[in-house]
Amino acid sequence: MTTRTTEIWVGIFVAAGLASLFMLAMKVSNLSAFSGDEGYTIYARFEDASGLKVRSPVTMGGVRIGRVTDIRFDPQQLVAMVTMRIEKQYDTLPVDSSASIYTAGLLGEKYIGLEPGAGGGCEDADLEAELEAELGGGGPADAGAGEDAGDCQSGYLKEGSVIKLTQDSLVLEKLIGQFVSQFLTSKEEGGGDAAPQGGAQ
Amino acid sequence: MILATLQHLGQRGMQVFERLGRASILLSRILGGIHTLVPRFSLFIHQIHSVGVLSLVIIVVSGVFVGMVLGLQGYNTLVDFGAEESLGVVVSLSLVRELGPVVSALLFAGRAGSALTAEIGLMKATEQLSAMEMMAVDPVHRVLAPRFFAGLFSMPLLAAIFSAVGVLGGFFVGVGLLGVDDGAYWSQMQAKVDFYDDIMNGVIKSIAFGWVVTWIAVFEGYDAVPTSEGVSRATTRTVVYSSLAVLGLDFILTALMFGD
Amino acid sequence: MSDNNNDIIVRIRNLSFSRGSRRIFDDIDIDIRRGSVTSIMGPSGTGKTTLLRLIGGQLRPDAGQIFFDGEEVTGASRRRLFELRKRMGMLFQNGALLTDMDVYDNVAFPLREHTDLPESMIRDLVLMKLEAVGLRGARHLMPAELSGGMARRVALARAIALDPMMIMYDEPFTGQDPISMGVLVRLIREVNDSLGLTSVLVSHDIDEASAISDHIYLLSGGKVVAQGGAEELRNSASEWAQQFMQGLPDGPVPFHYPASSFRDDLLSGGEGERP
């Protein structure tokens, strides 16, 4: 085998290897969906962020618009602090958007769904927060409202914004527990007899 | 009797350490000779040819078949849960995380590692290495280093090719034969496979495997007893040790990378 | 090296070397004169090849010193050793040609490794060396296509490529037909004289070696048992020299491997076998 043929073959080999890597990066993995580091970071606090992972998708209207980049515990407010990176082109998310943790399918992975607010200002958000709190289904709205009052003016979420309206992840065991305890109390109220043991929290 | 057994065990243990020590010294000499690669670049290219290019056929063929089998098996399992759209995820994750690096490293050990050991061992048996030394040419730099670095360079490329053709093989079976939706195959895959966590970790694995396999192959050849029997034993040892090393290292790396 | 006189290229002093528990050299002294052809002879297994490796610095002795061209080989650093080796060539028993290159590239190998000469100059030098061994026409053959004698001649061309001061030949005559043996014998002497080299031969082919040697060392049992010119040894009173030079089956080197008496061995009926 002459040197030239060898070199050509090595060239083909290296090209094929790099092409394979490129295919793995672009076609197989999510690298193509990353528009580099371009985007802005927003925050949300959840009472319960269990099941959520770094790199979990952030969606709006079912379309992925960003990713979770960090989840940590906020020792002051004793809640989970979730950092999200939103892609640059989605820069018109209303400031009163709410964030909820959903599960894809019954046992699928968790993701954050953003929903636009009613289009009102900060008052609406506060109102909603109170409502939410009264309903008691999810965690109360974020209490640190003072630090990002400036958002109310701009109308859109931007770098460093904090989403105030959040809805925790649904934990199946908690849900079942709640259901059982509600069922028990309603029975007691109705003058029912002794409830079976075990399910109550 | 017991004393004799203990003594025997002790001797074997010392031999293991001795060989490990020699292998490490050899590795440091090879790494120390990296600068001699520049004037001998054409040698490096030639070694990539014999180590990488000549392994290409077996890697591509195995990759296609492994991908096709994954497609078939994955489909049969997933269809029970009505989750056959996830076939792409199953095939690609198994390939890029595990099978690509590991199987291609095992094939590489059998195809290229054994050839390296046999070649170097034979050069030693025919006194070619001694002759080089007497010509004031360090065989570690002239013979071993180009082979080692060519293996190190080729392994990740081979593993990437293996994974890529495997994904295509799974696509052929899943989408072409079993009727999984074309778009779902790719989009589910893209949604679940992460570039850094999965693909880059796979690449890191394959570099580590390339490192161990060529290190063992080169050392066994260089350390072989210079007789035909010695060379054949060294070749066997290369395949056995490097396969075991790849599997053991894979466990450690997997635990480190995907442990949490 | 206070007593270094420039006439001696290799000076071995009090050399001892053992492999495992076997003593190969036991306190030997050898001097090799510049420009001479010196043969180291002795029965098989006396470590003659080992001696060449010791001189080349591939092995380290247990004790003693070896000087080459006034510099100490024993204890020299790797780098220093490589410098010394550029001044010595070595011809291995089977040539040890690099099997993945043809004859031309084999001879060019040391030149390409150690010099930055342009390719045209390397070509001239290689053809010159190949012409000297009579194999210019075989330059495109691969080592596998050469006969044993031809391979050794190519190896000789390669060994003289860098114009060394000394060439060591490891058993150059073994396994050769009479013609190629004759060719090699003549070549060694010719190359030595025309290039002004020093040659060290390790051999047990008495006739060939003594025909071209200026000086002969006889080794046995790790000692130098006799030395001198070929004539001198033939006429020497030493039993060693007599036995070796005349090829007698029995003498100081016994015909029998050491054993208990034959009579006892027969009578024991194999009881004592492999206890």
At residue C260, the pLDDT reads 77
Asked whether the beta carbons of residue B42 and residue A29 sit closer than 8 angstroms, the reply is no
- Start-to-end CA distance of chain C, whole Å, equals 53
Cα–Cα distances (Å) from B79 to B83, C190, C211, in that order, read 6, 85, 88
Confidence grade of residue A150 (pLDDT, cut at 50, 70, 90): very low
Quick one: how far is CA A105 from the chain centroid? Answer: 15
Answer yes or no: do C114 and B127 touch at CB < 8 A: no
Mean pLDDT, residues C10-24 taken together: 85
In chain B, whose CA is at the least distance from the CA of C159?
Answer: B135
C and B make contact (3+ CB pairs below 8 Å): yes
Give tens-digit pLDDT for B146-186. 999 999 999 999 999 999 999 999 999 999 998 888 888 88
Residue B216 confidence (pLDDT): 95
pLDDT at res. A142: 45
Give the mean pLDDT of B44-55: 92
> Does C56 have pLDDT greater than 50?
yes
Maximal C-alpha separation, chain C: 76
Q: Does A15 touch chain B (CB under 8 A)?
A: no
Tell me: pLDDT of B59 over 70.
Answer: yes
Chain A touched by B56 (CB under 8 Å): yes
Average pLDDT over residues C56-79: 86
Given a cut of 80, is residue C74 above it in pLDDT? Answer: yes
Give the pLDDT confidence of C93-120 residue by residue, as tens digits: 888 888 888 899 999 999 988 888 899 9
Confidence of residue B220 (pLDDT cuts 50, 70, 90): very high
Q: According to the model, what pLDDT value does residue B165 have?
A: 95
pLDDT of res. A148: 44
What value does the mean pLDDT of chain B take?
Answer: 91
Residues of A in contact with B56 (CB under 8 A): 13, 16
Q: Which of A3, A9, A14 is the closest to B157 by Cβ?
A: A14
Q: What average pLDDT does this structure show over B190-215?
A: 89
Average pLDDT, chain A: 74
Smallest CA–CA separation between C201 and chain B, in Å?
A: 16
Query: Which pLDDT score, from 0 to 100, does residue A191 have?
Result: 53
Q: A140 falls in which pLDDT band (50, 70, 90)?
A: very low
Q: What is the pTM of this model?
A: 0.76
* Confidence band, pLDDT 50/70/90 cuts, at residue A130: low
Confidence of residue A132 (pLDDT cuts 50, 70, 90): low
Is A18 in CB contact (< 8 Å) with chain B? Answer: yes
Whether the Cβ atoms of residue B140 and residue B242 lie closer than 8 Å to each other? no
Q: With bands split at pLDDT 50, 70 and 90, how would you rate the model's confidence at B69?
A: very high
The whole-number pLDDT of residue A116 equals 85
CA distances from C135 to A120, C95, C117 (A): 98, 14, 23
pLDDT of residue B162: 95
What is the pLDDT averaged over residues B229-237?
A: 94
Neighbours of chain A (3+ CB pairs under 8 A): B
Q: Which residues of B160-175 are buried (b: 16+ CB within 10 A; e: fewer)?
A: bbbbbbbbbbbbebbb
* Interchain contact A23–B (C-beta under 8 A): yes
pLDDT exceeds 70 at position C271: no
Which chain A residues are closer than 8 Å to B195 by Cβ? 25, 29-31, 34
pLDDT at A129 over 50: yes
Q: What average pLDDT does this structure show over B208-215?
A: 95
* Closest by Cβ to B164, choosing from A3, A13, A23: A23
* A86 bridge partner residues: A40, A66
Percent residues over pLDDT 90 in chain C: 6
The C-alpha of C86 sits at a distance from chain B's nearest C-alpha, in angstroms, of 6
Among B53, B56, B193, select the one facing A28 at the smallest CB separation. Answer: B193
Q: Which of A2, A8, A29, A68 to mutate to test the interface with B (most CBs of B within 10 A)?
A: A29
List the single residue in B56, B161, B194 with the smallest CB-CB distance to A29.
B194
Q: Which of A29-43, C129-143, C227-241 has the highest mean pLDDT?
A: C129-143
Of A62-66, A140-144, B2-6, C170-174, which range is least confident? A140-144
Structural contact between residues C13 and C65, judged by C-beta atoms closer than 8 angstroms: yes
Residue A16, H or E segment: helix A3-23
Is the per-residue pLDDT at A201 higher than 50? no
What is the reported pLDDT for B172?
93
Distance between CA atoms of residues B181 and A59, nearest Å = 23
Q: Is the pLDDT of residue C5 over 50?
A: yes
Of A14, A18, A30, the CB nearest to B195: A30
* Chain B residues near residue A34 by CB distance under 8 angstroms: 195
Reduce the secondary structure of chain B to three states and give it as a string.
CHHHHHHHHHHHHHHHHHHHHHHHHHHHHHHHCHHHHCCCHHHHHHHHHHHCHHHHHHHHHHHHHHHHHHHHHHHHHHHHHCCHHHHHHHHHHHHHHHHHHHHHHHHHHHHHHHHHHHHHHHHHHCCHHHHHHHCCCCHHHHHHHHHHHHHHHHHHHHHHHHHHHHHHHHHHHHHHHCCCCHHHHHHHHHHHCCHHHHHHHHHHHHHHHHHHHHHHHHHHHHHCCCCHHHHHHHHHHHHHHHHHHHHHHHHHHHHHHHCC
Q: What is the model's pLDDT at position A195?
A: 46
Longest dimension (CA), chain B: 70
Query: What integer pLDDT is reported at residue B260 of this predicted model?
Result: 58
B190 touches chain A (CB under 8 A): yes
pLDDT for A103 equals: 80
Of B259 and C194, the one with more pLDDT: C194
Nearest CA in chain B to A53: B260
| Range from A17-31, B59-73, B195-209 carrying the lowest mean pLDDT | A17-31
Percent of residues, chain A, with pLDDT higher than 90 = 3
Contact by Cβ (8 Å): B110, B98 = no
% chain B with pLDDT above 70 = 99
Over residues C264-273, mean pLDDT: 69
What are the Cα distances from residue C107, in Å, to A134, B192, C120, C157? 94, 59, 14, 6
What's the pLDDT at A37?
61
pLDDT at C261 over 90: no
